[in-house]
Amino acid sequence: MPDRPASGRPGPKVYSIAAHRGFADALVAGLIPRYSKGELGLARLTLLLPSRRTVRTVTEAFVRHSGAGLLLPRMVVVGDLDLDETLGPLLDPLGAADIPPAADPTRRWLRLAHYLREVEGGAAGAPAMGSAALLRRAFEIGRTMDRLIAEGIAPIDLMSERVIGIVGDLAGHWTDNTRTFLMVQQYWIAELAERGEIDAPERRNRLFDHAATAWREAPPAYPVVAAGVTGASPALARLLRVVSEMEQGSVVLPDLDLSLEQAVWDELGTAGNPAQHDDPPFGGADAVTHPQYHLKLLLNRMGIAREEVQPWRRSGLSAAPPERSRAISSLFLPPSASAAWVDLPAERRRLTGVRLMESTHPGEEAQAIAVMMREALEVPERRVALVTPDRGLAARVVAHLGRWGIEADDTAGRPLPQTAAGRLFLLLAEVLAEQAAPVPLIALLVHPLSGGGERRARWLENARRLDLALRGPRPQAGLEALRARAEGAKADRWWAEVEPMLAPLFALADAEPLERLLGLLADAAEAFCGDTIWSGADGRGLSAFLEDLRGAAGSAGTVIDPRELHAVLRDAMDRVSVRPPWGGHPRVSIYGLLEARMGRADLVICGGLVEGVWPASPAQDSLLPPAVLRALGVPGADFRIGLAAHDLAAALGASEVVLSWAQRDEGGPVIASRFVLRVRAMLGDQLGRHVETDALRLARMLDDAPPVPPHPRPQPMPSPEQRRVELAVTGLDRLRGDPYQFYANAILRLRSIDALDAEPSAAWKGEVAHLIMQRWHEAGEPDGGLHAIAQGVLGEQNAHPLMRVLWWPRLSAALETFERSILAAKAEGRTVVSVEQWGSMTYRDVRILGRADRIDRKPDGALAVVDYKTGQPPTGRRVQEGFALQLGLIGLIAQDGGFPGAEGTADAFEYWSMAKGKDGAMGYVFEPVLEGRKKSGIPREDFLPETRRYLDEALNRWILGEEPFTARLNPELGSYADYDQLMRLDEWITSLGGSSKDDAA
């Protein structure tokens, strides 16, 4: 390290470690020879570090460079606001008791929401706002307040003439937002004064100033080194200035480019140091997206010129900047200076050891990254790190590494809602908000933490029974409807245990104290999971979150609508990260951008390099307009792009680097990061030598299965015993049209089930229509009573309001047609003998069974078989060809006496359709008999004999015969698609070609 200036005057001692050297290792390599003299040399040293993660990184570097045992220096955390870290005890001593305590951030958030409701509720024409939206805006107000406080901007500064003049020239919504912000802030400042508290960032600034004043007046007797601190808040910059001027103090910055040309440095802009006092601190031409911009801002606020910063040297030996550092410097040149790329010599564009990997989709990218990490671990002592802001990509890589037994921890953590404990708690809130809707209810009941212990197997068995009972459209809200479904699923005894756990959540008013709601959810969570809900890292994180929120809610007096609780909790929990405990693979690291700072590895993989991810899309402040923020001296929204660029520049300092991105994400094509585009443009004709292909090839080979021949058309041949199954009246059509579907349904007994909370299907509409007609008949078919019964059934079935609005006009008109027709036939002597009745007969030792929608006896004594259809009925041709035989089979069963009270011979076969008829009216009757001007159908007198002939043919071929149950035997027929995946239809259907019709029966 250099000594004092020749004049002997203590000057600022500020140093920089180049990106290619690895900050932690280079820092420790310089600290040990300078401060390790004597047994307690290093122990007298105090390091000011930015975060707790950095403490661990520097500790590991000391271990690597120690050679033998040593006493570590005192490491004090300055605290990273982005990581929600507090100051270390050195900077927050007992001697600072004169500084007021900090207000609880959670309580402040809730109180800001209270004031926001008062401010906007009192404004004329203010929109109504639910609790979740209100709290979301309150959080944004608090974040903006913190941002201003950290920059040292007092509330009175918002009232300056410059700011007021800017606001007056802006659009109306900006003016309203600024006025709302100022009013809410003033309410909060008054409450702070009453409570004797200050905001946390304000207390942080005061503690920095307290330490700076104390050290300036009485410098500590021990050496102090601030290392890796890049926060550019004015208070922190003042403290760093004092540290740099102390006789035993110094400041070490990461990756400050000392070789950057002065013209390029000047092109970065004013960076908080305007040329004149009246100029804005941040000019509109500032290159805030440059990786060196925030360091220039810090130096300007420290009052230090870049020429005063010196390179950090190890043991007094100088190290010339390697070609990688020069290339990185050229890579991030600001716009005007980037024109120099055209004439840049090859050695200034060389990025030896840097490779680019472009994948087709995130799954392939994660697979390839995992392969590279697996290969790197084959080299002894080789360390590998994945750096990515994309937590989804990180989770995929962790999963891929797990199949090789490599346990990798994502040190950026997971949002609390994505953990098991957090997800269960949110499901409880969602069940409350949606009044036990099927989807969140079943997700709660089968959650891995629910019903744990010895009761788990029985719990899941009953939960699956209820799951099947709830398939289809949503039942009525509340627990009573669920009780009835559980009884029908034979899970009533189990439900008697579950219902008391949920009952307290369904006895709430429209507005409840948030503290009480959280307590009820916590009690319900314990009832479902026991103490397991609070165990593990996620359980402890959830417990801490709830205790903090409950205490703040009780103190703030927050009251919300229980139906909003789920959205409120989701927003709040998304801001909490659960980080894994230590214990992963010692040579594998997975970092977020914040956690990666100062980290070091032999191979660094930068993943997720796409626009909107790295760098993230700049989020404009929704409360204060950009012009106001610039006038106040707050960096613009693009400032974080420069931080992301600096993070990438630091990662590029590793000996081997891979820049990875995918061409698309789950939503569609994406654009590669602007940083990647810069790398490709700067490399120019050298790009081909920097493309990574081996990892992609190996990743694709992992998923490439050997080719298999096309699957043949299924033709199962069950044994004679397996064929002897009973035949439903609707199954004969399926057997003749598509024998494989009959085989899967009747012999394998496979059933398709509806989704939970599904849209009303045609089958559901048919059941509703049948129930309406059945209820009307049981009521005596009163004139004018059909509509009232229909409305009652729709309400009972909890038909969705939108579906009712869309379907009711058609249903109502069809029911009117049916009512007129039935009452007219009744007046002529036609009577009902059977409604929704099951019947059966034994024919050739095979049981034929079915349910008759309706059977009437005509005045001449013959029977009329009726089948209801909500859509179009089968055509006469389908009936004539033997693919719609339900009416005929019902007639045969009735003729055989299979319907008690409805014996006789049928000569009328009617479809009552609720669809639109040829005359335009809703509802009509159709008989598929060949008479009059009809061109297709079966003659009336031959209807039953023809049905019997088709029945005999089907029995001879499949049930009693030996013919295979060929899939899609008649492919030209419209068919259900329930078993298409099972028969692997798409693999062989195109091979049928022109012969498909020849295969028809």
Q: Which helix (H) or strand (E) holds 893?
A: helix 886-895
175, exposed or middle or buried, with CB in 10 Å at 0-12, 13-18, 19+?
middle
Q: Comparing C-alpha atoms, which of 722, 725, 945 is closest to residue 847?
A: 725
**pLDDT surpassing 50 at residue 580:** yes
Q: What are the pLDDT digits (tens) for 49-85?
A: 988 878 888 888 888 887 777 788 999 888 765 555 6
CB-CB neighbours of 107 under 10 Å: 20
How far apart, in whole angstroms, are the C-alpha atoms of residue 482 and residue 500?
13
What is the model's pLDDT at position 906? 93
* Contact status, residue 270 vs residue 281, Cβ threshold 8 Å: yes
Confidence class for position 318, pLDDT limits 50, 70, 90: very low
Between CA 669 and CA 680 the distance in angstroms is 19
Query: What's the CA gap between 466 and 487, in Å, rounded?
Result: 9
Mean pLDDT of 301-327: 72
CA–chain centroid gap for 105, Å, is 26
How far is 593 from 614, CA to CA, in rounded Å?
9
Count how many Cα atoms sit within 13 Å of the Cα of residue 413 in the half-sphere of its side chain: 18
Q: How far, CA to CA in Å, does 388 sit from each of 235, 573, 603, 651, 660?
A: 30, 22, 14, 11, 10
> What does the pLDDT read at residue 306?
92
Q: Please give the structure tokens belonging to residue 562.
A: 């229980």
Q: How far is CA 420 from the centre of its chain?
A: 14
Whether the per-residue pLDDT at 664 is higher than 90: the answer is yes
At 426-462, the pLDDT tens digits run 999 999 999 899 999 999 999 999 998 888 999 999 9
Chain centroid to Cα 255, Å, comes to 35
Tell me whether residue 457 is exposed, middle or buried, using C-beta atoms within 10 angstroms of its C-beta: 0 to 12, 13 to 18, 19 or more.
exposed
| 155/143: higher pLDDT | 143
Terminal Cα distance for the chain, rounded: 94
Question: What mean pLDDT is predicted for residues 334-355?
Answer: 80
**Would you say residue 492 has pLDDT above 60?**
yes
Q: Measuring CA to CA, which residue among 102, 119, 226, 227 is closest to residue 180? A: 119
State the chain's maximal CA–CA distance in angstroms: 128
- Tally the C-alpha atoms within 13 A of residue 826's C-alpha that lie toward its C-beta: 13
- The 3 state secondary structure assigned to 504-521 is HHHCCCCCEEHHHHHHHH
Neighbour count for residue 924 (Cβ, 10 Å) = 19
Q: Which amino acid is at 200?
A: A
Report d(CA 100, CA 667) in Å as an integer.
49
Quick count: other Cβ atoms within 10 Å of Cβ 626?
A: 15
Alpha-carbon distances, residue 991 vs 710, 711, 974, 977 (angstroms): 10, 11, 19, 19
Q: Single out the residue of 574, 541, 592 nearest to residue 411, CA to CA.
A: 592
Mean pLDDT, residues 590-618: 87
In this prediction, residue 952 has a pLDDT band, given cuts at 50, 70 and 90, of very high
Which tokens go with 104? 């609880």
> Of 548, 275, 566, 277, which Cα lies nearest the Cα of 443?
566
Q: Contact 123/560 with Cβ under 8 angstroms? A: no
CA 240 – CA 249 distance, rounded (Å): 9
Here the tokens at position 374 are 């697996």
Residues ≥6 apart with Cβ < 8 Å to 274: 280, 281, 283
Beta-carbon contacts of 278 under 8 Å, excluding residues fewer than 6 positions away, are none
How far is Cα 255 from Cα 243, in angstroms, rounded to an integer?
Answer: 19
Q: How far apart are CA 879 and CA 947, in angstroms?
A: 9
Could you tell me the pLDDT band of residue 4, with boundaries at 50, 70 and 90? very low
Distance, in Å, from the CA atom of 282 to the CA atom of 274, rounded to the nearest integer, reads 7
> Is 891 exposed, middle or buried (CB count within 10 Å of its CB: 0-12, 13-18, 19+)?
buried
Closest among 187, 327, 319, 304 to 683, alpha carbons compared: 327
Residue-level pLDDT at 151: 86
Lowest mean pLDDT among 9-13, 670-674, 679-683: 9-13
Average pLDDT, the chain: 86
Round to whole Å and give the CA distance between 418 and 424: 10
Spell 303-320 as b/e; 16+ CB within 10 A means b. ebebeebebbbbeeeeee
Residue 618 is predicted with a pLDDT of 77
Cβ contacts of 907 within 8 Å, gap of 6 or more:
862, 863, 864, 940, 941, 943
How far is the C-alpha of 744 from the C-alpha of 968, rounded, in Å? 13
- Residue 122 binned pLDDT confidence (cut-offs 50, 70, 90): low
| CB burial readout 264-300, b (16+ within 10 A) else e | bbebbbbbbeeeeeeebbbeeebbbbbbbbbbbbbbb
Report the pLDDT averaged over residues 334-348. 78
Closest CA to 514 of 566, 550, 564: 550
Per-residue confidence (pLDDT) for residue 5, from 0 to 100: 42
Tell me the three state secondary structure of residue 122.
Answer: coil
| Cα-based angle 446, 448, 451 (whole degrees, multiple of 5) | 70
Give the model's confidence band at 945: pLDDT under 50 very low, under 70 low, under 90 confident, else very high.
very high
Which residues have CB under 8 Å from 939's CB, separation 6+? 929, 930, 931
Q: If we measure between CA atoms, which residue out of 704, 116, 648, 787 comes closest to residue 351?
A: 648
Instruction: Give pLDDT, residue 320.
Output: 38
Residue 159 has pLDDT above 80, yes or no: no
Let me know if 580 is exposed, middle or buried by CB neighbors in 10 A (0-12, 13-18, 19+): middle
Residue 279's pLDDT is 58
Residue with tokens 């890579």: 331
Number of Cβ atoms within 10 Å of the Cβ of 143: 14
What pLDDT score was predicted for residue 10? 61
**Confidence at residue 129, expressed as pLDDT on a 0 to 100 scale:** 56
- Alpha-carbon distance of 752 to 769, in angstroms, equals 22
| Helix locations, 616-688, DSSP H | 626-632, 639-651, 674-683
Could you tell me which residue, 580 or 962, shows the higher pLDDT?
A: 962
Inform me whether the pLDDT recorded for 546 exceeds 90. yes
Note whether 855 and 894 are within 8 A (CB). Answer: yes
Other CB atoms within a 10 A radius of the CB of residue 84 amount to: 12
The two structure tokens encoding residue 735: 């057997």
User: What span, in angstroms and rounded, lies between the C-alpha atoms of 441 and 477?
Assistant: 12
For residues 609-634, average pLDDT: 81
d(CA 444, CA 849): 40
Mean pLDDT for the stretch of residues 773-785: 87
Which has the closest alpha carbon to 892: 729, 733, 746? 729
Average the pLDDT over each of 23-27, 155-159, 682-686, 870-874 and give the range with the smallest value. 155-159
Question: Rounded to an integer, what distance in angstroms lies between the CA atom of residue 696 and that of residue 371?
Answer: 9
The mean pLDDT value for 120-130 works out to 56
In the beta sheet, which residues pair with residue 249?
Answer: 224
Q: What percent of the chain has pLDDT over 70?
A: 92
Banded model confidence at residue 955, pLDDT cuts 50, 70, 90: very high
Distances (CA, A) of 279 to 266, 274, 276, 624: 16, 6, 5, 20
* Average pLDDT rounded to a whole number, residues 474-496: 88
Interior CA angle at 804 toward 803 and 806, to 5°? Answer: 65
* pLDDT for the residue numbered 284: 63
CA–CA separation, 360 vs 650, rounded Å?
A: 27
Distance of alpha carbon 19 from alpha carbon 351, whole angstroms: 13
**Total length of the chain:** 1001
Asked if residue 600 has pLDDT above 80, the reply is: no
Element (DSSP H or E) covering residue 810: helix 801-827
